[in-house]
Amino acid sequence: MGTVYLVTGAAGFIGANYVHLLAEWEPDAEIVAVDHLGFASNLANLDPVRDRISFECADIADPTAMAELYRRYAPQFVVNFAAESHNDRAILDPSAFMRSNALGAQVLAECSRRASVRTHLHVSTIEVYGELPAHEASFTERSPLNAKTPYSAAKAAGDQIVRAYMCTYPELDIRMTHCANNYGPYQLPEKLIPLAVTNVLRGRKVPVYGDGLQRRDWLHVADHCAAVHRILHAELGPVPDAAGTDPGLLPIFDISARHEISNLDLAHRVVTELGLDPDEWIAHIPDRPNHDRRYLIDPAKLETQLGWRPVHEFETGIAETVAWYVAHRDWWEQIIAEKGELEVDWSRMGTTAPAAP
Ligand SMILES: NC(=O)c1ccc[n+]([C@@H]2O[C@H](COP(=O)([O-])OP(=O)(O)OC[C@H]3O[C@@H](n4cnc5c(N)ncnc54)[C@H](O)[C@@H]3O)[C@@H](O)[C@H]2O)c1
């Protein structure tokens, strides 16, 4: 029997990119793509590989549904990309984030433990480390988790659960990544880069929160996927006892190209790529509440221990990404037709909870 990969969150941005690449990298593998088809998903993201995968609509936080999938497909490798991922939506409805990002992480880890999968990789984010002070160089795997937004707190809860599995169940080979902000094709136009392109192409300005000086660390999605695949297959050996007090020794890897840029500069970049004047096409709008100012992580552990390097230059990567959204107008027009406008306007929204159902 061939190798079976179970990839969750596969109808989202990064999961779909990973499944496309996995189909190329592992032409003989069986790929089970799982997604509950929530708000951020788009099944059309999997169209290019539809004849190479088995798609399963299921919720990773549902233990019965997940146990049944593990029983049916007996995966050797599990990669968990499934999460609620949008900071703005997390402020408006945190409960769904806690379910997918924390409970879902645990249910999936437990299924992998019971099914004795060969390797389980949990995908997490730079945002669990919280906000990097302006005077500090970067976060590392040894930095404390300091999440303070509903999205990053839910992801950090998932991280803590995965760390507990790493330390408690030595028979389970479970690994984790923290990645910088991703850019590339198939990202829902609620996130900055595709929102900017799709707005401009429809004659609307690019919204920039507040002063736009929030700084982010950007990596091409294909570089993220290559890092995930390398970490999934690396020979790492057992978790040493000393990892209990030194998280740098846990099988956790930070992924970044060390490319830091402000949101305002990024918006300028996108508008310039479209051949227009940023001064005319960017609008500062009210900031979202509790907006982290800065993220940056250091990928030195991944570089030195596993030899990973990003291959996409930021300049060309952004130009190609903008060109992809220009060329795939049908793809994003269909999304906006189905989901409505995706821009969040905090001047018309508060953080007050809606009435209880
Ligand atoms: N986008 C980034 O810049 C970035 C950076 C670092 C890490 N990450 C992490 O990478 C992962 C993927 O992010 P993304 O940007 O592709 O997000 P996304 O929102 O585009 O996709 C997430 C997918 O997960 C699915 N999903 C959510 N909850 C689920 C559940 N309970 N069961 C099954 N499927 C579920 C959604 O339907 C969606 O298709 C997330 O874990 C995120 O935290 C993202």
Assess if residue 274 is contained within a domain: no
Structure confidence at residue 344 as a pLDDT band (50, 70, 90)? confident
Sign of the dihedral through C-alpha 24, 28, 32, 37: positive
In this structure, the residue with its CA closest to atom 27 of ligand 1 is 83
- Residue 122 domain flag: yes
Q: 323 lies in a domain?
A: no
Residue 91 covered by a domain: yes
Distance 15 CA to ligand 1 centre (A): 7
Q: Please give the backbone phi and psi of residue 182, each rounded to the nearest 5 degrees, phi first.
A: -100, 145
Residue 310 lies in a domain: yes
Query: Into how many domains does the chain fold?
Result: 1
pLDDT the model gives residue 87: 86
Q: How many CA atoms lie within 13 A of 212 on its CB side?
A: 14
Residues 6+ apart with CB under 8 A from 123: 9, 14, 79, 80, 81, 83, 176, 177, 179, 228
What type of residue sits at position 301? K
Q: Is 82 in the pocket of ligand 1 (CB under 6 A)?
A: yes
In a domain, 206, yes or no: no
Ligand 1: nearest atom to the Cα of 61: 31
Distance from residue 303's CA to the centre of ligand 1 (Å) = 25
pLDDT at 340: 87
What residues make up the domain containing 184? 4-188+218-259+296-314
User: Is 125 in contact with 150 (CB distance < 8 Å)?
Assistant: no
Between 170 and 161, residue with greater pLDDT: 161
pLDDT tens digit string along 68-94?
999 999 999 999 999 999 988 899 899
Which atom, in ligand 1's list, is nearest to the CA of 60?
32
Do the domain assignments include residue 50? yes
- Cα(17) to centroid(ligand 1), Å: 12
Residue with the larger pLDDT of the pair 22 and 2: 22
Q: What is the pLDDT of residue 357?
A: 46
- Mean pLDDT, rounded, for 34-42: 97
> Using CA atoms, how far apart are residues 268 and 131, in angstroms rounded to an integer?
23
Relative to the CA of 38, which ligand 1 atom is closest? 37
Instruction: Say how many Å lie between the CA of residue 240 and the centre of ligand 1.
Output: 30
Q: Give the pLDDT confidence score for residue 287 in this predicted structure.
A: 86
- Atom 12 (ligand 1) nearest CA: 81
Pocket test for ligand 1, best of 6, 13, 95, 332 (most atoms within 8 A of CB): 13
Q: Among all chains, which residue has been given the structure tokens 């945002």?
A: 127
> What's the confidence (pLDDT) of residue 292?
85
Residue of 57, 59, 81 best suited for mutating to test ligand 1, as the one with most atoms within 8 Å of CB: 81
Atom 5 in ligand 1: residue holding the nearest Cα: 181
Q: Indicate which residue's Cα is closest to atom 10 of ligand 1.
A: 81
Q: What would the mean pLDDT of 271-291 be, rounded to a whole number? A: 93
Estimate to the nearest angstrom the gap between the alpha carbon of 11 and the chain centroid: 12
Ligand 1 centroid to residue 123 C-alpha, Å: 9
If you take atom 37 of ligand 1, which residue's CA is the nearest one?
38
Residue-wise pLDDT for 211-245, tens only, equals 999 999 999 999 999 999 999 999 999 999 999 99
Mean pLDDT of 136-149: 95
State which ligand 1 atom lies nearest to the alpha carbon of 179.
Answer: 6
Looking at residue 55, which CATH number applies to its domain?
3.40.50.720
- Position 315 scores a pLDDT of 96
**Residue 24 CB coordination number (10 Å):** 9
The response to whether residue 16 sits with its C-beta less than 6 Å from ligand 1 reads no
The pLDDT value given to residue 139: 96
AA letter at 248: G
Section 299-319 average pLDDT: 98
Q: pTM of the full predicted structure? A: 0.96
Q: Is 18 a pocket residue for ligand 1 (Cβ < 6 Å)? A: no
Q: How far apart (Å, rounded) are the C-alpha atoms in residues 202 and 189?
A: 13
Residue 119 lies in a domain: yes
User: Is the pLDDT score of 350 beyond 70?
Assistant: no
Residue 324, Ramachandran bin (φ over 0: left; ψ between -120 and 50: alpha; else beta): alpha
Radius of gyration of the chain (CA): 20
